[in-house]
Amino acid sequence: MTAASPRPAGLVGALDELLGRRVSMRSLALLRILVGPVTLLHLRPFVADALAGRIYRDAFYEPYASWYPELPRPLYGTLLAVGVVAAVAMSLGLCTRVATGVTFGVVAYNLFLSTTHLHSNRAYLVIVLAALAVAPCGRELSVDAWLRERRGGPPLDPRAPAWPLWLLRFEAAVVYGASGVSKLVDPDWFGGTVTWHRVVQVRDRLDASPLPGWAVALLTDRSFHTVGAKLIVITELFIAIGLWWRATRYAAVWIAVCFHVAIEVSASVQVFSYLAIAALVIWAVPSTRDRVVAIDPANPRHRRLAGVMGPLDWLARFRVVDGPSGGPVSLTDRDGSVQTGPAAVARVLSRLPLTAWFALPTLALPAARRARRSATPGEPDPTHDGEATPGLTASGTR
């Protein structure tokens, strides 16, 4: 409990306490798994070229600095191979600390070999890998943890000082914020000229696409972009700001997924969409097993829900316990409030990464809002918000 510890003085002290507070690294462990395939996707064109006997310096490239070390051709190919192996090991959580550091090193080294290698999505990938490299994100969801358990060793504390998580959150917000502000201050962008003009430039492709005529007419209409461009800017800024507050965080995450899917289908952005969607997991509150779902084990539907939650609760947000026989599903949230029945199920699904995007809109339905307002108030969980990880004390804990 932090109440017993001395209060840090001033803003600096409060920040220091926030950054040093031990929180769950679960979201970074999950991100580590997801970023492995993203890294492989990023390295693929470099590896494909190398396998075909071509490397970056066989054609135009521009080193950032003359002193930057360049490897002999066979060693460069070997480095890429090491990067691939390290990315796989990072994702699996095998020798996680080393694998994550090596993956970061290879991707960063390769990025800075030439100005021609730099794209925003690659810069973001380097940042994410850097955060994963400095965070102890291999203590769970990893082969390392499995091997440790198999050898009978005690599990390592999955909590660590929060600063890598906060830093990565800052960087993630900067990606959206910087992009949004740059468009906001550009009259051509904010006025819709840029998007309209870009669409007009590819009008022939639109005409040849399966889009109906009215859609093509709408997309090439100037006034559509006058409004649309402002919506894009507002969306980026909303994501950048909205992610920081609980009241808006889920809306920001939901909109961010839509935003990235739209970008992915309309533009060529390399690994940006996959990386950015994966990185949204860092906005989960960094504490685990602090929501309790009570089910009736005799009820097949309840058992199905529990069966779904097991493999899909990647962020370890729930404890499933046996509830009273014949009772509805109930969810006791971090604040101690209790919801039951369909409202509880909807809320559970809205907190699982794979089902969240589909379930979140149901929470905005009037019935769900009424259920939330009338949720039985209870004792707030003193461990919420990552101050500690609650122990499994409930009887019948699954």
Partner 1 sequence: MVALVVLVQLALVVRGYRSAHKEFAFQMFPESSTWQAEIVRVTTDGDRVPITQPWAGYRWDELVTGRGLRHPELRHHADAGLDNQLAFLDAALDYVADNTPRDEETRYLEARVTTWNNTDRPEVTVLRSDDRSDTA
**Site residues for partner 1 per CB under 8 A:** 19, 59-62, 115-116, 118-120, 123-124, 127, 163, 166-167, 170-171, 174-175, 178-179, 182-183, 186, 188-189, 193-198, 201, 267
Whose structure tokens read 């800024």?
237
Q: Taking Cα atoms as reference points, which of 346, 398, 394 lies closest to residue 372?
A: 346
Q: What is the CA radius of gyration of the chain?
A: 24
Burial annotation 26-54 (CB, 10 A radius, 16+ → b, else e):
bbbbbbbbbbbebbbebbeebeebbeeee
Give the number of other CB atoms < 10 A from CB of residue 396. 10
Helices (H), strands (E): how many in the chain? 18, 6
Please report how close the Cβ of residue 197 comes to partner 1 at its closest, in angstroms: 4
Please report how close the Cβ of residue 87 comes to partner 1 at its closest, in angstroms: 22
* CB-nearer residue toward partner 1: 170 or 358: 170
Whose structure tokens read 């198999």?
150
Please report how close the Cβ of residue 19 comes to partner 1 at its closest, in angstroms: 6
Question: Is 35:107 a contact under the CB 8 Å cutoff?
Answer: no
* CB-nearer residue toward partner 1: 14 or 267: 267
* CB-nearer residue toward partner 1: 171 or 385: 171
* CB-nearer residue toward partner 1: 223 or 374: 223
CA atoms within 13 A on the CB side of 320: 20
Q: What angle do CA 107, 108, 109 make, to 5 degrees?
A: 95
Please report how close the Cβ of residue 284 comes to partner 1 at its closest, in angstroms: 20
* CB-nearer residue toward partner 1: 175 or 253: 175
* CB-nearer residue toward partner 1: 62 or 204: 62
Please report how close the Cβ of residue 314 comes to partner 1 at its closest, in angstroms: 27
* CB-nearer residue toward partner 1: 146 or 190: 190
Q: Taking Cα atoms as reference points, which of 227, 221, 256 lies closest to residue 239?
A: 256
Please report how close the Cβ of residue 381 comes to partner 1 at its closest, in angstroms: 28
Please report how close the Cβ of residue 255 comes to partner 1 at its closest, in angstroms: 17
Backbone angles phi, psi at 379, to 5 degrees: -75, 125
Please report how close the Cβ of residue 217 comes to partner 1 at its closest, in angstroms: 19
* CB-nearer residue toward partner 1: 166 or 314: 166
Ordered DSSP codes for 110-167? HHTT-GGG--HHHHHHHHHHHHHHHS---SSSSHHHHHHHHTTPPPPP-EEESHHHHH
